[in-house]
Structure 1
Amino acid sequence: MVGLRQPGRAHRGLRRQAGRAAPGIHGPALRIMGTTLSGRLVRRRAQARASSRRTARSRCLQRRWRAPGRRGATPLDVGSDMRSAPRVGARVTGGPAGEGSNLGLYWGDDAYAIERAIDALAQRVGSAAGGPPERWRVGGDATSASLIGERLATATMFGGGSLAIVSEPWPLLRSKAGREELAGVLGNVAPGNALALTATFDRSAKAPAALDALRELVRGAGGEAREFKAPKGGAMTRWIEDRAAERSIRLEPGAARELATRIGAMVAEGDVDRRRQGMVAVGELDKLALYRGGQPVTQDDVRALVAEAVPGSAWALLDAVGERRAAEANELLARLMTNTPEPVLLAQLHRRVRTLIEVADELAAGKTAGSLVRTLHLKPFQADKLAGHARRWTFAELRAALDGLLDLDGLVKGVGGAAGTEAQRRLAFSLWVSERVSARSGLPRSPVRAPA
């Protein structure tokens, strides 16, 4: 009720229910009203009509606050109740964390599985809202928590809402204020809207430091947090067969394995980038199905249509060099040189040859492979492997290999005007492998003692 006075026709019992005047937001005074009218007010109405002793002063609202009657309802505490009431659009989730939530964090090295998780989130939110949400994709370095909140804090009245897909959201968590602002956004996603935070990174690389903090924020807001690992080897073969069955594509025996091999899934080393292998496999399946026109896909079809994209592995290259398998080392080196800077390859090769010289020196002094764990600070499996590699070399061969790497370094850096073309540098790397890594015999050799 606004104002200090009410018309004379206003119910007097109702006026008694009103409290004293309080300062208003825009100037006029406000009265705190009770939530319900008690039965006593009905009886007071008849008494008020029969009474002739009411003065004109009683027609005004009481200037002195009067508490409601004992039987009356408790007045509404505007100051406290409104602050503690749930915000508009706040999500209320029940059951296990993330179940039925409109908030998700998906990370790992399987981009295909992450996209499937986003599709499932969109379907779940769209079925509840009555329409598919509109997808908005943005990188974490191109947005802010406030912009995300503007899109998701308000529910739509008709149709589907909005699904914000934020990839690599790490810039949003760089500061404490940023984390607090993002936490407020996560807790205020309106019904019909959804937020998906995604991160894809190589499994061999260390996970971002902010991942644990982001996972706790999402789970604390009732969302789901899931990691997806790309399959490899035989697991990828079965994965391809499952995706083909989903698409009603018939594969003859050996076709799935051939496809897994040609996309590089059979490489066992852990430093291989597998983030796009699932998407590549699904795209090749669709292409093969279109080519065959409903007929079973054969192994020859895969060889004819799928380009070989076996990724290079620096770990596999270093192992091939250590075991003196020159042909395999040259093949791996050619793959790595397509996307790895030459100085990086030189640094890795130099480090491995130098480590083999140190291991060979320890073995020549009568040390065992187990003692390398303490003296060279290696892990047990690394010590055993490097000891086996060092036994295949002599000190003279290791020194010649190291000298050859120094010559390659000068060629790459153009020392003394010796810079060559890319083809010449590739040829120089290949010659180093053929001349310095290739073993004269397949039998392991014992290294000789270093001269004094």
Structure 2
Amino acid sequence: MRSGKIAPAYYIYGDEAYWHDRLISLLSDAFPDGTEHVSGDETTWQELQELLAQPSFFGPRLWVVRGAKHLFDQKPETWHISVAPGNCLLLSAITKNNPAPKALTQAISNAGGVVIKVAEPSWREAANWVRERLRSDGYTITRDAVETLILVAGRSIERLDKEIEKLELFVHPDNRITADHVLTVVAPDPQMNTFAFVDAVATRDRVKAFSEVEELVTRGVSPIFMIAVLGSHFGLMWRAKESSNKGITQDSLGKALGVHPYAARKALEQSRRWTFSQLEKAMRLLCHVDESLKTGKMDPVSSMDYVLVNLFA
């Protein structure tokens, strides 16, 4: 696209909204006087086909269809696509899974179009994106600050982009961002901010753990989600403890566990507060509560109190 070559059709799906907006913006810039925005529930595939197949007398024209999933639900007889020279179609579906029928994606490919999947990036991808995003604006960020930013805000590029804008305004006219800046400015993601709760449990801070649970429940975070996060972390602490006993160094621990080095170091440090027997008991407890919640045998409101009382017993 940057080379000036634009495909006749684009279909982008995935739950990372930032890239949907980014692609729409880039294509709209290429069609400054001829961009039309429609919703998937306000048009039909037949209407779009008629518009796309007709050469425009007023110059190149881009048709952007947001909420394209509604369009796919119509199920026309055929998904044939024909785009007149100079026209372009962009279908956007912000969904985790691909809602388009195979016949449509095949038709887009046959017409010389492009199908793009965008999903939440890995930790490494998010960290690299943060550094590059700041570098392009003339800013630098410390390693600890990158780790803290992703831990607090999550890996969503859309959220990270908004938080970076706030950080740049906060540190200006300086151009170096530190972990202290992140902790001062960045708003925690309600789901990702369970790390404070997990830390409290992992470090056996009973008072803080109960306080964090109360705050998470107030924000609407489900007990099932909290149980899942705790279970994952206890499993990580077990593997970190086991790997350390086998002689794996801290420098190699992240690679051995398949997680970021920072998360590996932290899990190892916390695991020293627990014996293998205690870790096993905790994981069995979490599995039991998870199953009880999903089968309706336990009240969600009191489930986390039950978990914490037994973990700290």
Cross-structure match for 2:7: 101
Is this contact kept in 2: 1:166–1:198, CA < 8 A?
yes
| Equivalence map 1:173-184=2 (5 Å) | 173-175=73-75, 178-180=76-78, 182-183=79-80
Give me the TM-score of the superposition, normalised by structure 1.
Answer: 0.45
RMSD: 4.4
Structure 2 CA distance for partners of 1:295 and 1:253, relative to 1, 3 Å: farther
Partner of 1:311: 191
Deviation at 1:148, TM superposition (A): 2.4
Runs of 4+ in 1 over 6 A off after TM superposition: 325-330
1:392 paired with 2:266, answer no
Pick from 6, 17, 21 the counterpart of residue 111 of structure 1.
17
Counterpart for residue 201 of structure 1: 95
2:305 alignment partner in structure 1 = 431
| Residue 134 (structure 2) aligns with | 244
CA distance in 1: counterparts of 2:139 and 2:186, whole angstroms: 16
Match of 1:134 in 2: 35
State the shift of 1:236 in Å: 1.0
What's the offset of the Cα at 1:391?
A: 4.8
| Contact 2:127/2:147, CA 8 A, preserved across alignment | yes
The residue identity in structure 1 corresponding to 2:183 is: R
The offset of 1:345, in angstroms, is 6.8
1:347-366 C-alpha deviation (Å, 9 max, x unpaired): x89xx9xxxxxxxxxxxxxx
TM-score (norm 2): 0.62
Q: Distance in 2 between matches of 1:174 and 1:211?
A: 11
Matches within 5 A, 1:399-438: 425=301, 428-436=302-310, 438=311
2:147 — aligned with what? Answer: 257
SS at match of 1:142: coil
Deviations 1:356-400 (A, max 9, x none): xxxxxxxxxxxxxxxxxxxxxxxxxxxxxxxx99952799x89x9
Q: Structure 1: any 5+ residue segments left out of the alignment?
A: 1-98, 266-276, 353-387, 413-424, 441-452
> CA–CA distance in 2 between the matches of 1:216 and 1:260?
37
Give the equivalent residue in structure 2 for 1:48.
none
Displacement of 1:164: 2.0
How many angstroms does 1:240 deviate by?
0.5
Q: Secondary structure, in 3 states, of the residue corresponding to 1:141? A: coil
Q: CA 1:434 to 1:171, structure 2 compared with 1: closer, same or farther past 3 Å? A: same
The corresponding residue for 2:120 is 230
Please state if 1:288 is matched with 2:177. no
Q: Hey, which of these two has a bigger chunk of helix by percent? A: 2
Q: 1:218 to 1:239 in 2, by over 3 A?
A: same
Relative to structure 1, the CA distance from residue 217 to residue 340 in structure 2 (aligned partners, 3 Å threshold; closer, same or farther) is: farther
Query: Which amino acid in the other structure matches residue 392 of structure 1?
Result: K
Contact 1:244/1:250, CA 8 A, preserved across alignment = yes
Does the CA-based 8 Å contact 1:231-1:239 persist in structure 2?
A: no
Shift in Å, 1:257: 2.7
Distance 2:88 2:121 in 1: 28
Of structures 1 and 2, the one with the larger relative CO (CA 8 A, separation 6+) is 2
1:286 deviates by 1.7
For these two proteins, the number of residue pairs brought into alignment is 254
Give me the whole-angstrom Cα distance separating, in 2, the residues matched to 1:433 and 1:218.
51
Query: Aligned in 2, Cα 1:303/1:213: closer, same or farther, shift over 3 Å?
Result: same
2:104 maps to amino acid: L
Q: Is the 8 A contact 2:190 2:221 kept in 1?
A: no
Contact 1:230 1:278 in 2 (8 A): yes
Deviation at 1:150, TM superposition (A): 4.9
**Larger-gyration structure (1/2):** 1
Would the aligned equivalents of 1:250 and 1:295 in 2 still touch at CA under 8 Å? no
The structural deviation recorded for 1:229 is 2.9
Paired with 1:311 and 1:142, the residues of 2 have a C-alpha distance of 33
